[in-house]
């Protein structure tokens, strides 16, 4: 999936603190809200366009996923993934 942003200047790009706030809110409410509900319940209000760009970034970077119902969940757990990869019976082999 490719992040597509129009170059018309109409988009408002999210600041780092905004993206971190969205990340924290999704972690706390993992899989509870759909996109519009998530935007309505954020602790800090922002333009929907800005929110959409931040969500697209999180989706493309592999930090969130959207299930079949449209609910957004947090999937980025690097510490747990590294611990599971250390197990002898779980071996990751790159494609050749």
For residue 38, what are the domain limits? 16-86
Element (H, E) at 36: helix 35-41
Q: Which of 5, 11, 70 has its CA nearest to residue 46?
A: 11
pLDDT at 95: 75
pLDDT tens string for the chain (96 positions)?
Answer: 455 555 555 568 999 999 999 999 999 999 999 999 999 999 999 999 999 999 999 999 999 999 999 999 999 888 887 777 677 566 667 777
pLDDT at 14: 94
Tell me the C-alpha distance between 11 and 49, whole Å: 7
Tell me the C-alpha distance between 77 and 82, whole Å: 9
Sorted by sequence, the CB contacts under 8 Å of residue 68 that are 6+ apart come out as: none
Residue 52 lies in a domain: yes
Domain count, the chain: 1
The residue whose two tokens read 């905004």 is 18
């Amino acid at each position: 999936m490719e992040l597509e942003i129009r170059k018309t200047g109409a988009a408002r790009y999210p600041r780092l603190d905004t993206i971190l706030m969205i990340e924290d809110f999704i972690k706390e409410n993992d899989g509870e809200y759909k996109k519009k509900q998530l935007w309505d319940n954020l602790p800090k209000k922002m333009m929907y366009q800005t929110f959409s760009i931040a969500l697209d970034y999180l989706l493309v970077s592999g930090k969130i996923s959207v299930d079949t119902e449209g609910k957004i969940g947090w999937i980025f757990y690097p510490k747990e993934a590294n611990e599971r990869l250390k197990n002898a019976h779980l071996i990751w082999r790159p494609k050749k």
